[in-house]
Structure formats: structure tokens, C-alpha cells
Amino acid sequence: MKIIETSHIAKRYVMGSEVIEALKDVSISVTKGEYVAFMGPSGSGKSTLMNIIGCLDTPTSGRYVLNQKDVSDMSENELAEVRNKEIGFVFQTFNLLPRMTSLENVALPLIYAGFNKADRTEKAMLALKNVGLENRAGHRPNELSGGQRQRVAVARALVNDPSILLADEPTGNLDSKTSYEIMDLFDQLHSRGNTIVLVTHEDDIAKYAHRIVRLRDGLVENDKINPNPTKVRMEEVKG
């Protein structure tokens, strides 16, 4: 089943008298359970594509169907509802609230989804357990390492059982060892059936994905299955 399907989407920005074509004509689809990397240099259009796929923005033209819903022309409120139900975001900067504990940060999307406190706590605790951090539930972000903060962010992204885990440069603020740990976590999540879309400009990070879509100048340059996805070796994590 196709989770993501874009048909000839374009995105244009008007800056004074100049028109910038961030995306020109992009048609791609992602099937349930796939692990895909969007790759490309700065200015390639990958961030714009991520914003459209993440329902943070709408295309200027073309059609985007997310989990069998056409979201191309939705209002801000409709997009916000789709984001909360369908998409789990993981950002480079973690975006955790500093005064909240790990558990409270993870439970935050469940408040908007209307869960009661007991259910929120139970689901958030399970999400933390799934990323190996149940013993840090009461810690605030400043009491955690960078890798632990990113794991909390991943748990928060997954707490609502979204259709897609959308990760934007998820290792950008992490050292090499911690990056290996996070990529190993993504590998485990994918093996449990999660659909993962990874946005990166780093070739070695993209190679963890099972399919790599390369963008250049607002177009898909190539879209290939990765026959040998990188696997994290435990000596790299322990190293």
C-alpha cells in the first residue's frame, strides 16, 4: 500500500521580483514499511519536499496523497490534524521542551490527540521503552546526553503510531558514535514495520536506507534501491 504519493508537485516562492522554483516536477511514491532517504546538496529541494510530505507546507501545483487522503489543498487546521495523526517528526535539534521530563515530552502529542492522563502516561512509557530509555523517564533534557535526547525525540515521534517517521538530518548534531546508535535504532524501528523517510545531505547516513532518492535543482536526479544498506557494527557503537 502506498503511504506517500506525489504527482508532478512543484513549489515556487516569490521573493520580490524573483520567482524561486524550489521544486519543479517531483513524482515519487513510498510504500508502507519502506525505509527511504531523500538526499541532495543544499538547494536541491530536499527540505522543501520534506516540508510538503510532512504537511508543513502545500505544493504550488501538483497533487500529494498521504495514506489515501489528498492533502494538496488542505487548510492549516486540516494539515495540523493530519500531521498529528499521520506523521512523527524527528529533527536535528531535538526540539524538546527543557522544563518537561522525558515522559512529559513524549506524552505531548497525546494531549493534542485527546488521550486522558493515564493513557498518555502508559503510551509514553511504552514509547520510551521501545527506544531503551524507560530508566530516564523522569530526567529533563539537560540531564541527558545528545543521543539520549534524540532517542526521547524518536519516542515522541512514535507515540501516536504515525504512518510515517520523518527524520530531518537526525544525526546532524551528534558525534560519530552517537550517530551510529541512532541509525541502529532506526534500523530496529524499520525491522518492526515502521515506514521511515530520512532527509540528509550526508552520503554515509543515506546509505543506511534501503532506497535512496537523490534530488538536484528541484528534480529527482535518480531513485534507486540500495542493495547493501549499511548495518551498524556493535564495535562502532562501543568504540
Q: Are 60 and 11 in contact (CB under 8 A)?
A: yes
17 φψ region: left (φ > 0), alpha (ψ -120 to 50), beta (else): alpha
Instruction: Tell me the mean pLDDT in the region 24-31.
Output: 96
pLDDT attached to residue 73: 85
For 112-129, how does the pLDDT look when each residue is reduced to its tens digit (9 = 90+)? 888 999 999 999 999 999
Q: Are 236 and 180 in contact (CB under 8 A)?
A: yes
Query: Does 234 score more than 70 pLDDT?
Result: no
From CA 54, how far away is CA 165, in angstroms rounded?
10
Domains of the chain: 2-95+161-238 (3.40.50.300)
Q: Are 24 and 217 in contact (CB under 8 A)?
A: yes
Q: Distance from first CA to last CA of the chain, Å, rounded?
A: 40
For 175-231, how does the pLDDT look when each residue is reduced to its tens digit (9 = 90+)? 888 888 899 999 999 999 999 999 999 899 999 999 999 999 999 999 999 999 998
User: What is the chain's alpha carbon radius of gyration, rounded to the nearest angstrom?
Assistant: 18
For 34-77, how does the pLDDT look when each residue is reduced to its tens digit (9 = 90+)? 999 999 988 899 999 999 999 999 999 999 999 999 998 889 99
What cell was used for 165? 517517521
pLDDT attached to residue 233: 67
Query: Does 239 score more than 80 pLDDT?
Result: no
Residue appearing with cell numbers 549499511: 230
Distance of CA 161 to the CA centre of its chain: 13
DSSP class of residue 33 equals T
For 124-149, how does the pLDDT look when each residue is reduced to its tens digit (9 = 90+)? 999 999 999 999 999 999 999 999 99
Q: Say how many residues make up the chain.
A: 239
pLDDT attached to residue 193: 92
DSSP class of residue 201 equals S
pLDDT attached to residue 173: 85
Q: Which helix (H) or strand (E) holds 165?
A: strand 164-168
Instruction: Give the residue with greater pLDDT, 197 vs 238.
Output: 197
pLDDT attached to residue 174: 87
Q: Which helix (H) or strand (E) holds 191?
A: helix 176-191
From CA 63, how far away is CA 112, in angstroms rounded?
27
Between vectors from CA 64 to CA 54 and to CA 79, what angle results, nearest 5°?
A: 45
- Candidates 66, 57, 65; CA nearest to 23 is 57
From CA 40, how far away is CA 206, in angstroms rounded?
10
Q: Are 206 and 212 in contact (CB under 8 A)?
A: yes
